[in-house]
Structure 1
Amino acid sequence: MRHTKVKDLLNSTTTLQEINAKGWVRTFRNNQFIALNDGSTINNIQCVVDFENTPDETLKRITTGAAVSVTGTLAESKGAGQKYEIQVTKLEILGDSDAEKFPMQPKKHSLEFLRENAHLRVRTNAFGAIMRVRSVLSYAVHSYFQQKGFVYVNTPIITGADAEGAGEMFQVTSLPLDNLPKNEEGNIDYKKDFFGKHTNLTVSGQLEGETFAMALGQIYTFGPTFRAENSNTSRHLAEFWMIEPEVAFNDLNDNMDLAEDFIRYVIKYVIEKCTDDLKFLEGRLLEEEKSKPQAERSEMALLEKLNFVLENNFKRVSYTEAIDILRDSTPNKKKKFQYIINEWGADLQSEHERYLVEKHFKSPVILFDYPANIKAFYMRLNEDGKTVRAMDILFPGIGEIVGGSQREERFDVLAEKMKALGIDEEELWWYLDTRRFGSAVHSGFGLGFERLVLFVTGMTNIRDVIAFPRTPQNAEF
């Protein structure tokens, strides 16, 4: 007999005489009641075991974490809390189960403990919910762009270009590290490496994505990226996923329109598809908030925060106007900010971004026209010569969630900026070619997928929204 998913059984419109369900035991009470979960839903289904006719040896093996197959009748539940339960006529233990050693016991575990057991933490309610939400968000990303006629492009993971110009990249090599070949100048001879040159893991697919946008019109990438930043904060990962659309003939205003429409779509989609998981995560967050000092508690519940994005127009504000607002704000004047805003040109921190969203405008905010010296070389220089056509989207509780720009399409201006920053033209000759041949106004943005999942699930540490986090000194599993 084929087994039926727990989600489908709980959503059934009628009782059923003969069904089979398979899953993992969450709890086993009174030698009779199994809470069974198969990952298809946050909810368990109760299985009532005929303990009088079940061998004691079998009952002893029904432990938390055990995989079981149950056959029986889907009947109306006699207890409160769910519509149906399974009256078990046949029970089979699948595989081995060591109850004493299984780490995920039915009790509250610290997030740090769960990270140390990342191979098993998805069996908990919280991480099952997070990963289902992540999956639905991933589908929503593709759904949005495919409906809009974008072409999905897989940009390289191994690259010789540093898109961000930050230099914090993981090197890729096949050279023997204990006997590196040297050239006549005494430097490492990368001509003898696998690719014949110095290569790294990519930090972004943007530069390669631009080349496709200049032929296909509108493209997007959605793939893994890597950053060798030695940071152990709750906001950084060494391996993460990026969503990066690039659109030919779009200026900065078009780019802001696209980003706002996109992010509203995926949030609305996940609210509709993951109702039970989001309600569970909201309850979990409310419980967690109770243990925090009042000043550190979130002002909005999870679903309220998500609807805040859907129901409020995104306020568009220039960087210059934002600096004036922040400089004159009460927390800045009373030195409540950790980073005091004194002058134009300051690089905004999360505390400043959240103030603009949560306190001043009380809506999502799009900041644009940033100082050129704090943004990447590829952003289009404005006529004032000191700002670029950059934009960041700011959300409550998290600050920046999207960063993008109108790209510099003028060959001479781009080449001059690269020269001033010491970026080798020979290294990016192919990128400059897109400005030599048929150049046009174009724009794009990047959205760190884990940052989006963090916002939607209400989690506070980015290590808890990816299956196996890669961070400094940690590449377990």
Structure 2
Amino acid sequence: MASIVQEPALTVRKLYQEYQAFGGKTVVLSGWVRNNRGQKEFGFIDLNDGSFFETIQVVYEDGKIENFKDVQKFRVGSSVAIEGILELTPLMKQPFEIKARKIDLLGDSPEDYPIQPKRHSREFLRENAHLRMRTNLFSAVFRVRSEVSFAIHSFLNARDFVYVHTPIITGSDAEGAGEMFRVTTLELESLVKSGAKEIDFGKDFFGKATNLTVSGQLQVESYAMAYRNVYTFGPTFRAENSNTQRHASEFWMIEPEIAFADLKDDMRLQEDMVKYIVNHVLTRCPKEIEFFDSFVEKGLKAKLEHVLATPFRTVTHHDAIEILIKSGETFENTPVQGEDLATEHEKYLTRHFNGPVFVMDWPKDIKAFYMRLNDDGKTVAAVDLLVPGSGELCGGSQREERLDMLLSRMKEMHVPEKDLWWYLDLRRYGGCKHAGFGMGLERMIMYVTGVDNIRDVIPFPRTPRNCEF
């Protein structure tokens, strides 16, 4: 039998978009078998090529293809090439199907293939993270992740933001985040055996102690002082021994920074960007959203449409705590003025305001040194964006542009000046008011998909005691 000549340009997505134009014509496709239901005289293959959420039903019949008996035995997960006639089926659930004339096996899949057509637990699929994107759930999740990432770049690029690649390796923990991953080429085992009481990082690769970054914010601020509007978008790392559904050791952050801007400008940018992303996903991924709405989070689509139609609310941290105290709710963590919000508090506030809400003007003692001190001397111009279901989505602030105030805050919080001499220069040489925020990519994906575990929106999650693949 002659081999099928494949045309890479023809995909399942293209056929769904233009199937009427292909009615009655010969088409050639390649993809993977999601299911194969072979019967005595005919059979059905559900074919997916990764270009679209839906599969295509391929009908094969004895006498119409030469290798009918072989095709009946093609197993789930196998890759195949198919040539056939596209037949319109307007009265059926699927608007068309392929009547096969040739089917070639490109790559077999043995019977021990883990992703069989049945329900699998998410834990099982995490253990098979190299294959889980072949299921409906993770096919949808990671296509949405791709679209969200593209939407972020598109949104910022259209507004003339400059994309800055900030370093992955950083020379200090001056950001104040703590719990960083150490980067070293020193032979630690030899140091232990030698009985060394201290590690001399002057002998290390960089001549000093270095870590994986927890944020590109400080570095991207320097570019904001030259380009006005900038952003960094890349992986960040936290050596936090946390096994919650919301935390991972490696995750991606989007950090825009805007010069000649205050906290209100920062909040406006956050709202515009979130709405742009949500609208992009609703437009580009309707099948995926329909799937999530049916099987992951009931009412997801309505929630996202509500976000687009509703102005984000604003409340001060002080007033937010008062709302929690007077709510009559029993919280596991008692809300207290001057203290941080727990996840349960964040979720209550989004229910109280029936949508996303900005919590602004936070107590200075629980926020970072670089946030601008408000006139009351007690709070800083910081803001967290809380969204229903996910809690905190973004965290931002107006930065402290006054050199004397910044130096005072650094001294107060024991942040060494010698490590941030270059950061202080930004205030010495043409400094101006500026602001920015960080958005966790995974948090955004959890919000628009309804998936409640961060491990299920990262291709290969890195968490405490887990670094497979």
TM-score, with length taken from structure 1: 0.93
Alpha-carbon separation, structure 2, partners of 1:454 and 1:37? 25
| Counterpart position of 2:232 | 221
The aligned length equals 457
Deviation by residue 1:182-202 (Cα, 9 ceiling, x = unmatched): 99x952111111111100000
Deviation by residue 1:286-313 (Cα, 9 ceiling, x = unmatched): 5xxxxxxxxxxxxx61111111211111
Indicate whether 1:455 and 2:447 are aligned.
Answer: yes
Indicate whether 1:151 and 2:162 are aligned.
Answer: yes
- Residues 253-292 of structure 1 aligned to structure 2 (within 5 Å): 253-285=264-296
| Counterpart position of 1:23 | 31
The one-letter amino acid paired with 1:357 is T
| Counterpart position of 1:415 | 407
Alpha-carbon separation, structure 1, partners of 2:152 and 2:177? 28
- Share of identical aligned residues, percent? 52
- Residues 319-338 of structure 1 aligned to structure 2 (within 5 Å): 319-331=317-329, 336-338=330-332
Specify every segment of 5 or more residues in structure 1 that has no aligned partner in the other structure, as ranges.
Answer: 287-299
The DSSP-based 3-state class of the residue aligned with 1:250 is coil
How much has 1:166 moved relative to structure 2? 2.7
CA contact (8 A) 1:163 1:203 kept: no
Deviation by residue 1:25-84 (Cα, 9 ceiling, x = unmatched): 111113410000011111110111123444366225411111111011111238721111
| Counterpart position of 1:77 | 89
**Deviating more after overlay: 6-15 vs 48-57:** 48-57
| Counterpart position of 1:297 | none
CA contact (8 A) 1:181 1:189 kept: no
Indicate whether 1:468 and 2:460 are aligned.
Answer: yes
Alpha-carbon separation, structure 1, partners of 2:360 and 2:53? 40
Task: Select the residue among 95, 105, 121 that pairs with 1:93.
Answer: 105
Residues 354, 110 of structure 1: CA spacing in aligned structure 2 closer, same or farther, 3 A cutoff? Answer: same
The DSSP-based 3-state class of the residue aligned with 1:428 is helix
| Counterpart position of 1:63 | 75
Alpha-carbon separation, structure 2, partners of 1:414 and 1:181? 40
CA contact (8 A) 1:61 1:97 kept: no
| Counterpart position of 1:5 | 11
Instruction: Flag as ranges the 4+ runs of structure 1 deviating above 3 A.
Output: 51-57, 180-183
| Counterpart position of 2:308 | 310
Alpha-carbon separation, structure 1, partners of 2:319 and 2:102? 69
Residues 434, 417 of structure 1: CA spacing in aligned structure 2 closer, same or farther, 3 A cutoff? Answer: same
The DSSP-based 3-state class of the residue aligned with 1:382 is coil
The one-letter amino acid paired with 1:7 is R
Alpha-carbon separation, structure 2, partners of 1:16 and 1:127? 33
Task: Select the residue among 47, 53, 78 that pairs with 1:42.
Answer: 53
The one-letter amino acid paired with 1:252 is L
Alpha-carbon separation, structure 1, partners of 2:79 and 2:379? 60
How much has 1:138 moved relative to structure 2? 0.6
- Cα RMSD (Å) of the superposition? 1.8
The one-letter amino acid paired with 2:462 is R
Task: Select the residue among 395, 399, 416 that pairs with 1:403.
Answer: 395
Task: Select the residue among 347, 354, 357 that pairs with 2:347.
Answer: 354
CA contact (8 A) 1:61 1:93 kept: no
Alpha-carbon separation, structure 1, partners of 2:93 and 2:268? 44
| Counterpart position of 1:296 | none
The DSSP-based 3-state class of the residue aligned with 2:418 is coil
Specify every segment of 5 or more residues in structure 2 that has no aligned partner in the other structure, as ranges.
Answer: none
Alpha-carbon separation, structure 2, partners of 1:270 and 1:228? 32
Task: Select the residue among 378, 381, 386 that pairs with 1:389.
Answer: 381
Alpha-carbon separation, structure 1, partners of 2:301 and 2:90? 32
| Counterpart position of 1:246 | 257
CA contact (8 A) 2:126 2:456 kept: yes
| Counterpart position of 2:177 | 166
How much has 1:411 moved relative to structure 2? 1.1
Alpha-carbon separation, structure 2, partners of 1:209 and 1:119? 34
Alpha-carbon separation, structure 2, partners of 1:10 and 1:262? 30
Alpha-carbon separation, structure 1, partners of 2:320 and 2:346? 9
The one-letter amino acid paired with 1:111 is R
Deviation by residue 1:84-138 (Cα, 9 ceiling, x = unmatched): 111111110112310x200001011000000000000000011001111111111
How much has 1:16 moved relative to structure 2? 4.3
The DSSP-based 3-state class of the residue aligned with 1:196 is coil
CA contact (8 A) 1:66 1:97 kept: yes
